[in-house]
Structure formats: structure tokens, C-alpha cells
Amino acid sequence: MIITKKTLPRRTVLRGLGAAVALPMLDAMVPALAQSGSASEPIRRLGYFYLPMGMNPEPWVPRTEGKLSSLSASLASLNPHLDKISVLSNLEINDAHTTGNHASSNCAFLSCVKAKRTEGSDYYLGTTVDQIAAKVIGSKTPFPSLEIGTDIISQVGNCDNGYACVYQNSLAWSSPTTPLPTVSDPRVLFERLFGDGGTPEQRQAQLATNASLLDAVMEDMSKYQKQLGNNDRVKVDEYLDTVREVERRIQMSQAQSDNVQLPKLTRPTSVPEQWEDHVKLMMDLQTLALQADLTRVISFQLAREASTRTYPQIGVAEPHHPISHHGNDPVQLEKLAKINKYHVSLFAYMLDKMEAVNEGNGTLLDNSTYLLGSGMGNPDVHDHKNLPIVVASGKNSGIHGGRHIRYGDEQTPLANLHLTLLDSVGVHLDSFADNNGRVDELFHSA
């Protein structure tokens, strides 16, 4: 580390033509942090990655308990990060059982409470765990939290067994009556993080005016160059290269959409043609937001409950939802396992990206904790027992990975884990929802 007399504030932002790009953590910021008395306070990040419609448990749940030398078939793509992975089995959301449908799986995942059954606007749930974290660790960032997804149900009213669509659209609720909207358009998210945003027409005009966001801020960047050592210059170059690559992919998707003539169909102008490209773009934007400390709390809904998406790229041409009602048919169970494995591989893609970001005291992944999981266990019967749950947490979190924690035949509340992960980022509550303890095993070596 090179310590210079000139230091940059942690909140250094490059500006130009209505654009703003926050810089990642740099060595040049460390002296300033030390002077402010915050050098010893690590950045704590907490993320939630939601998978719809449960799992096939046979290839998901590890056969052994305790320390693992490798992961199960459905989780195999996470093996490169094994020392940061904890698999938990026999967790449940008890209050969701009374509703037993897709809406409750989604909205109870982060709240662990029963949703009010209504098709109207008088919906009622509970403050979700991510928003509890956001009120504390999110208060130090421009965006207390981000709510991201790839699928949104555009209809209103009843979407599932008498439950309003909002229960399936929103993972995060800042109060029992305030669901937070999920952003699924990468252009909107990009401009929310780095630009002025505005209406679609305004965004089109901004895009036409600014060939690149970075072109607008590079002049501002030049005044900081003399304050940066070689290591910092490499970090900044890599970060800005990533911003430019994300920007390029959004523009390509926009051009592709503009050139495709689809009668009587209104399409977003910046959502990639292929769903996997869309997912990876949203995960790259998550990584950038965390790297630049624009936010420290993220919820990501990979796909919505009751999705009829097909996955021909992995040999599954039938819709996901009908497959999930497998009736214990070995053929359908195998297809469900393929979908589970594919979804986990996308999560592994994001962990790879986070592991590649060096923050001085470790990687971005070392300073983050992500919960991967679903609010449904066995999708064939819509139950909420033995949920598929994985915690990915870096070395600076205090959590020890590389193990399988299995609770006995008596199910344990998922709320126990939520409380424990809050503890890991310095947010301490006496209780949450129906918790009856904590998962202290996460802080003990296997």
C-alpha cells in the first residue's frame, strides 16, 4: 500500500454531463478513513438471491453432515468457493404453511410471516429482513438497498389463489404495507446507479447525447490521477472497464430490440434477447454497485414463482412450473434437478465476479454475505419445509464455510438464520418473526 499526503474521500464521485460514477475502495482513501476514525470499520454487505419453486432434494442436499470435501450435484458449480459455502437443511417457514402457494413462498422468504389474503390494495405482510439491515448498514450508502429481478407480473389483482400480484413481485417490504418495487430493466438500473434516469424518452435522448457514460466523467477523473499509486490505477482501470463493458452490452441489447419488428408487442428497449444474458447483466450491475459502495444490501429475484420459463439451453423444453409438480416421476424430477443446477450455476457466476474484485483486505466476496434459497421446499405439494438454503460468505464475515449443517427431523425456523446473518453484519435484534434461536454453528469451524 502506498500512503500519500493527498487522500481521497471514500465518497469520491466522478461527474460529467449529468452522470456520476462512484469510485471503488482505493489505497488512496485509506489515510482519509484513518483520520476520520473509521479505518477499523470493515464494509459489511448482505445479499439475498431468490430461487423459485423449491428443489429436488436428492441431488441438492449433501449426503454427509459437517465438513465437506465437495458439494452435491446440484451445487457442484460452487465447488471453487467451497470454503465460503455453508449448506443448511431442514429449515422451514412455518407461517407460510397456512397459505401454501407460490405467493406465500416469495413474500415469506424474507419476512417469515403470513401474508394477508387479498386481491386488492389492502395487502399486509411484514418488514423484511433485508430492510432491517438496510436501516443500519444501508444508511451509509447512496442507496440503502437495491431490489432487482428479471421477471415482473404486469397484471394487478389476483395472481395466485386469491393473493395480490404484489406478493409475487416484491421480495422486499420496508413496512407491512409497503412493498418495494423490483427493477428488472438493466438500463433503468444502470441509470439509477450512474445517471439521471428519467422517462424512456429522456433516457433515449440522454443515450443519444452521451455515447458513453465514461466519456462524460473521464475529464473529471484526470484531476485525481496524480493522487493514485500504481495499484489504485489498476483498480480504477479494471472498474471502469467493467462499467464500459456493461454499458456496451446494454447498448447492444437496445440496438437489437430496436431492429426487431414485433407487431402489437411493446418490449423494453434494454433487456437482452436471451434470459441468461439478462441475468448476468443484472448480476454484473449488482457487483458494480457493491464495489463502488453505492449500496450494501441487495435482494435479487432470479425468476418469479409459478414461472413458465423454459430452459432449452440445458435440455429442458417444458415450462418450469408444470415440471415442479413432478408427482415423484423420476423423469420430471431429473428435469427439476437440471433447472436447480442451472440456477445455482448463475449464482456461481456472480460469486466468481465478486471473488475477482480486490479490495485490499480481501476480495469483494470476502467482505460480503449472500443467502441463496427459496421459500418453497417440495414444489409438488407447495410446502415450506426443508428449504434449499445456501450461505456464501467471505473470510471477513466471521462465518466458517465448507460444511453442511443439518437440523433434525423437527424443522427449524428460517428466521433463526435471518437473525444470525444480521448478526454477521453488525445488526443485532433480540427476535425476528418466529425465531426460536440462532444458527451459531456458522461461526464455529467444522
How many domains in the chain?
1
At residue 444, does pLDDT exceed 90?
A: no
| Residue 261 belongs to a domain | no
Backbone angles phi, psi at 158, to 5 degrees: -75, 125
Q: Give 175-194 pLDDT, tens digit per residue.
A: 999 999 999 988 888 888 87
Locate 80 and state its grid cell.
Answer: 471453487
At residue 66, does pLDDT exceed 50?
A: yes
| Residue 299 belongs to a domain | yes
CATH code of residue 57: 3.40.720.10
In angstroms, the CA 127 to CA 110 distance is 8
| Residue 275 belongs to a domain | yes
| Residue 17 belongs to a domain | no
| Residue 287 belongs to a domain | yes
| Residue 317 belongs to a domain | yes
Nearest Cα to Cα of residue 53 among 102, 111, 4, 117: 102
The answer for residues whose C-beta is within 8 angstroms of residue 343's C-beta and 6 or more apart is: 51, 302, 303
Which of 21-30, 146-155, 407-416 is the most confident on average?
407-416
Give CA separation, 378 vs 87, 328, 381, in Å.
17, 10, 6
Q: How confident is the model at residue 270 (pLDDT cuts 50, 70, 90)?
A: low
Residue 446 CB neighbours (<10 A): 14
Q: Give 208-264 pLDDT, tens digit per residue.
A: 554 565 666 666 666 666 677 777 777 677 667 766 766 766 665 555 445 433 333
Longest CA–CA span in the chain (Å) reads: 68
State the residue range of the domain holding 393.
Answer: 42-184+271-443
Q: What is the pLDDT of residue 260?
A: 39
Q: What is the pTM for the complete model shown?
A: 0.80
| Residue 421 belongs to a domain | yes
For the chain, give the secondary structure using H, E and C. CCCCCCCCCCCCEEEECCEEEECCCCHHHHHHHHHCCCCCCCCCEEEEEECCCCCCHHHHCCCCCEECCCCCHHHHHHHHHHHHEEEEECEECHHHHHCCCHHHHHHHCCCCCCCCCCCCCCCCCCCCHHHHHHCCHHHHCCCCCEEEECCCCCCCCEEECCEECHHHHCCCEEECCEECCCECCHHHHHHHHHCCCCCHHHHHHHHHHCCCHHHHHHHHHHCCHHHCCHHHHHHHHHHHHHHHHHHHHHHHHHHHHHHCCCCCCCCCCCCCCCHHHHHHHHHHHHHHHHHCCCCCEEEEECCCCCCCCCEHHHCECCCHHHHHCCCCCHHHHHHHHHHHHHHHHHHHHHHHHHHCCECCCCECHHHEEEEEECCCCCCCCCCCCCCCEEEEECHHHCCCCCEEEECCCCCEEHHHHHHHHHHHCCCCCCCCCCCCCCCHHHHCCC
In angstroms, the CA 104 to CA 113 distance is 9
In angstroms, the CA 387 to CA 416 distance is 13
Mean per-residue pLDDT for 106-131? 93
| Residue 252 belongs to a domain | no
Q: Give 356-401 pLDDT, tens digit per residue.
A: 988 888 899 999 999 999 999 999 999 999 999 999 999 999 999 9
- Rounded to 10 degrees, what is the CA torsion of 75, 77, 81, 83? 30
